[in-house]
Amino acid sequence: MKRGFTLIELLLVVAVLGVLLVLAAPPMFAAIERARVGRVLTELQSIEVAIEAFRIDHGRYPPVTVSCMAADADEVLQLPRELADGGYLPPSPRTKASTLMRDPFNPKGTYKYAAPENYWMNGAMQRQRYPVWVPSDFPSGMSAGGRFDDSADSPLAWAVWSQGPRAQAGKGLNEKAPTARFTWYERLGDHGVIGRFKERNGPSWSTLQ
Q: For residue range 142-156, list pLDDT tens digits in order.
A: 998 999 999 999 999
Q: What is the reported pLDDT for 131?
A: 95
Note whether residue 146 is domain-resident: yes
Q: What is the reported pLDDT for 22?
A: 61
Note whether residue 95 is domain-resident: yes
Q: What is the reported pLDDT for 123?
A: 82
Q: What is the reported pLDDT for 142?
A: 92
Note whether residue 12 is domain-resident: no
Which range of residues forms the domain containing residue 195?
A: 18-206
Are residues 111 and 77 in contact, defined by beta-carbon separation less than 8 angstroms?
no
Note whether residue 5 is domain-resident: no
- The domain tally of the chain equals 1
Are residues 128 and 116 in contact, defined by beta-carbon separation less than 8 angstroms?
no
With vertex at residue 100, the alpha carbon angle to CA 198 and CA 57, rounded to the nearest 5 degrees, is 45
Note whether residue 6 is domain-resident: no
Q: What is the reported pLDDT for 24?
A: 55
Note whether residue 147 is domain-resident: yes
Note whether residue 9 is domain-resident: no
pLDDT under 50: residue ranges of the chain: none
Note whether residue 150 is domain-resident: yes
Q: What is the reported pLDDT for 36?
A: 93
